[in-house]
Amino acid sequence: MKKEEIPQDKSTLENITKEMYYVKGDDGKYDTGLSKGWSVKAEALESAWDDIDNEVEEARRAVQNGKKSPVYFFMKKELMDDSILASYVGMMKFRVKWHFKPGVFKRLKHATLLKYAKVFNISVEELKSFEG
């Protein structure tokens, strides 16, 4: 690719970051050039964020419908999965999954809720009172 062929499409990240490309200069040597964005990549990123937004919304509805606990919602909101969350709170994955059950969540000790609250960067009260 030549320097003048580097994509300069509008993207949501254009004011935040630029990408560096290696290009061939007129003299045949490799050089670098910056790109504001590439429409194909921007569309892929937007699609990925839409999927994430949908997952978070599904998690919110699951909490509202009494099918999942707030731990599940905040895990999804913070872009985690059960393995990552388990490692952050220092518990086995099966215990974290057990805490996704609303009945189990209501019986959790304050110390356990505090671990989750710290990971999610919220208060224990926010975690306990979240209803979707």
Tell me the pLDDT of the chain (132 aa) as tens digits: 777 777 787 777 677 778 888 888 888 888 888 887 777 777 888 899 999 999 999 999 999 999 999 999 999 999 999 999 999 999 999 999 999 999 999 999 999 999 999 999 999 999 999 987
Amino acid at 18: K
Residue-level pLDDT at 19 = 82
Residue 110 CA to chain centroid, in angstroms? Answer: 26
Residue-level pLDDT at 69 = 98
Residue-level pLDDT at 20 = 83
Residue-level pLDDT at 126 = 97
Contacts of 43 (CB under 8 A, 6+ apart): none
Domain boundaries, the chain: 3-37, 42-129
CB 98 within 8 A of CB 68: no
Contacts of 123 (CB under 8 A, 6+ apart): 117
Residue-level pLDDT at 109 = 98
Give the global pTM.
0.77
Exposure on the CB side of residue 23, measured as CA atoms within 13 A: 16
- The answer to whether domain 42-129 has CATH 1.20.1340.10 is no
